Amino acid sequence: MNRRDTFIETKLPKFKSILANLIKLKSISATNDGISETVTYLKKLLTSLLAADVDVIQTSGSPTIVATIAGSTAETVLFYGHYDAMVPGNEALWHTPPFRLTEKDGRLYGRGVGDNKGQLLGQIVGLYTYKQLHGTFPFNIKLLIEGEEEQGSLNLPITVQKLAATKLKDVDYVIVIDGSFNQSGTHVLRLGNRGALGFELTAYTGNQDNHSGNLGNIMKNPVLLLIQLINRLIDVDSGHVKIPHFYDGVEQPTARDLAWMEKLPYDPSDISKQTGVLRIPKESINYYQKLMFEPTFNISGITSGYTGNGMKTIIPHAATVKIDCRLVAAQSIQKIQKSIIELLKPELDDHCVSFKPLVKVPASKTNPNDSRISLIISAIKEATGDALVEPVMPGTVPNYVWTDILKVPAFTIPYANFDQHNHAPDENITLRAFIDGIKISYELINHLKK
């Protein structure tokens, strides 16, 4: 066993204890529960483990943490993560307490453990491991840890824009630690990510619910009105989105992208088993191309009327649908939103429908010819034994703030297992993934030094 692995094994109980503290602090950005306590804890942790100079940047929402560690050269690498977590949801569906770290069958369970506290701690203690074994870093390191990623990172672009000429002015490139690696268990490097437009539509047909026997055929049903609006936005049979200009900017994968995708492991039955999805595409390229290079239109929830036990014969007065669209390449959020508003203009003008944007995150892409790609791949292989390149991350992270605002390349390396159940009951990170994340962080310093 080498020095790196011996050190990590010796310190692993300490690392788990830190992770347990982070899980206990909750840090739910939707409710602000535990946010300030988590920021205080992380500031002390970064100071004690890494001797970092830590600044807490206040925003209109959750604070952002910026930690700086001086290295032996002028080059500066920024590591991004987030400390906030999603609400636990129905705790009765959890098999372990969501805010108590529980180790069972080689996995660590708790809300936020995979997304993103286990991954964030993997960054921090990976750097700590390097510092303890080597003394100094070969380049300057900055950690930017935000607290609103689960709410769409609304204040991150504002913060990065504000700091671009000061605390972040010397950043050469960004390492983003978030997401899940390949379902085969192989770690990956991602060179881009899909963006997201999330919005809410509410249809109104009255200012109160009414008895269906009294006003049936008289009062319109808002759910049916909502269905009509949805059918105006998407062809439910073909899946084709009917919003004007929706597909503007969608690009086909390049030959290099296709070559990378062809190397990605693919087992439809395993994916189906891990996700519970009944039908998975048989061809791997079809699967990955749909995930990486095609936009989506997804209904994430509909609420209206009575859904309790038995019957309640009412005509509800309002119905709400939440829709999220994953966007690719050069699709324009502004153009798509404008088209939606124009498409629903009669109902919006009549005030029987309201439109509320919830999430706006542009897609992002880093140059696939960047010379650091091979170095990062070597680091991941040294740490874990293998590595794959995914041209685009199917999910959404706010990488556009680095590529579009800070004007530097961004490389995404997820540390969590594919079946981490993030945003769902029994969220987890495997012990192997947690340790691998620590090793990758260590090896990134080793391989990226000039």
The reported pLDDT for the residue numbered 183 is 83
User: What would the mean pLDDT of 203-229 be, rounded to a whole number?
Assistant: 96
Mean per-residue pLDDT over the chain, rounded: 96
Q: Quote the distance between the C-alpha of residue 281 and its chain's center.
A: 24
pLDDT tens sequence across 369-387: 899 999 999 999 999 999 9
pLDDT tens sequence across 220-234: 999 999 999 999 999
Indicate if the pLDDT at residue 278 is higher than 90.
no
The reported pLDDT for the residue numbered 284 is 87
- The Cα 281–Cα 360 span in angstroms is 29
pLDDT tens sequence across 315-324: 999 999 999 9
Q: Which residues pair with 137 in a beta bridge?
A: 71
Indicate if the pLDDT at residue 111 is higher than 80.
yes
Q: Which residues pair with 71 in a beta bridge?
A: 137
- The Cα 169–Cα 292 span in angstroms is 31
Report the 3 state secondary structure along the chain. CCHHHHHHHHHHHHHHHHHHHHHHCCCECCCCECHHHHHHHHHHHHHHHHCCEEEEECCCCCCEEEEEECECCCCEEEEEEECCECCCCCHHHCCCCCCCCEEECCEEECCCHHHHHHHHHHHHHHHHHHHHHHCCECCEEEEEEECCHHHCCCCHHHHHHHHCCCCCCCCCEEEECCCECCCCCCCEEECEECEEEEEEEEEECCCCCEEHHHHCCCCCCHHHHHHHHHHHHECCCCCCECCCCCCCCCCCCCHHHHHHHHCCCCCHHHHHHHHCCCCCCCCHHHHHHHHHHCCCCEEEEEEECCCCCCCCCEECCEEEEEEEEEECCCCCHHHHHHHHHHHCHHHHHCCCEEEEEEEEECCEECCCCCCHHHHHHHHHHHHHCCCEEECCECCCCCCHHHHHHHCCCEEECCCECCCCCCCCCCCEEEHHHHHHHHHHHHHHHHHHCC
Task: Answer yes or no: are the C-beta atoms of 233 and 242 closer than 8 Å.
Answer: yes
The confidence band for 158, taking pLDDT boundaries of 50, 70 and 90, is very high
User: What would the mean pLDDT of 12-26 be, rounded to a whole number?
Assistant: 98
Give the chain's domains with CATH numbers: 3-193+363-448 (3.40.630.10), 195-250+294-361 (3.30.70.360)
Task: Answer yes or no: are the C-beta atoms of 176 and 415 closer than 8 Å.
Answer: no
- The Cα 18–Cα 222 span in angstroms is 49
